[in-house]
Amino acid sequence: MHRTYALSSYTRQSFGQRVQKIPLDAGFSCPNRDGTLSRQGCIFCNPNGSGSGLRERGLTIAEQWQFWHDIHNKNHKLELFTAYLQSYSNTHGPIEKLARVISSLKGLPGLTSLSLGTRPDCLDEEKLDLLSAQQQELGLREVVLELGLQSACNETLTHINRGHDAQAFAKATRAAAERGLKVVAHIIAGLPTPHGREGQAELLASVDFVNQLPVHGIKFHNLYVCRGTGLAQLYENNTYTPLTQPEFLSHLSEAIMHLNTTTVIHRLNGNPLKDELIAPDWAANMRAMHNSIRSHFKANDIWQGKKNGAESGPPDWFSPHYTGNIP
């Protein structure tokens, strides 16, 4: 039984086979790091945590692509790939730089789609038009914007030094969707607030906010404390305590039951890098945590949309083999 509309199902339905993401570092920065907005960054952000390290070794975009492409193609015989501009905010800075980077993807072997991690306040109409035009130019099946919302509560966003509000996310999402670009929302469970920590009600409010927007997919993250972050200072001062694993499972379950059944779930929990994690210990092993989530959903008969229009059971399109229409 498929309890969620997982990315693997969506990919199988849309592409007929697995599509492998290839992480690329084009050397973008972030307005919340380079001084445009601030130099502190979001409270949870590890300034050293992004990137594969290949750019630091001097590899161009094409060389980074070739490195990963050869590994996946040789070991797993994969043929379709997504260029994943992952590090920092990949639409920040002059539009000419974005245009140059996207053009450099042309002709990469197996390139089938593009995914960019960025912030909603780094997307103006001109950049969205460029992305839409480049989708046609490069013959890409999809262009996906991975946009951080983190929380729908502006008080929380201010507290974590996010540098934009929830309305900026809504505006960018609508403008992207109007151009046929797909948005994947990132939201985080357990963010610190001026009064303590976000709980289940706040996570549900974030899901409800996303449900009202033309969002194609979602990534859930459990907040963990990384070295070198503002959150680490709060943790060390005993002013922030991470969610326990049972708390996270409970919050996530409720969120999943309220999520629209057509929203593709790209991720259910965060993935700390080796050596960056301070707490909680249970966040260290992403695969084990993923298995705990699956077991919890099964044991408690939880599925996506159970409290949002799919009360009688998971819809057929959660299956990777579904071939009908999705409403």
Binding positions for ligand SF4, rule: CB under 6 A: 30, 32-33, 41-42, 45, 88-89, 119, 148
Helix (H, G, I), strand (E, B) or coil at 296: helix
Closest contact distance (angstroms) between CB of 234 and ligand SF4 is 16
Structure tokens at 292: 């705990």
Cβ-based nearer residue to ligand SF4, 49 or 110: 49
Helix (H, G, I), strand (E, B) or coil at 272: coil
The nearer residue to ligand SF4, 192 or 314, going by C-beta atoms, is 192
The distance of closest approach from Cβ of residue 124 to ligand SF4 in the complex, given in angstroms and rounded to an integer, is 17
CB nearer ligand SF4, residue 10 or residue 28: 28
Q: How far is the CB of 275 from ligand SF4 (least distance, A)?
A: 18
Ordered alpha helix ranges (H), the chain: 7-15, 61-76, 95-103, 125-138, 154-159, 166-178, 200-211, 230-236, 245-258, 286-299
Output the smallest distance, CB 171 to ligand SF4, in A. 17
Instruction: Go through the chain and tell me how many residues it has.
Output: 327
Looking at the Cβ atoms of 62 and 234, the one nearer to ligand SF4 is: 234
> Which are the contacts of 272, defined by CB distance < 8 A and separation ≥ 6?
224, 226, 283, 284, 286
CB of 256 to ligand SF4, least distance (A): 24
3-state helix, strand, coil in the chain (%, to 5): 40, 15, 45
Between 41 and 314, name the residue whose CB sits nearer to ligand SF4.
41
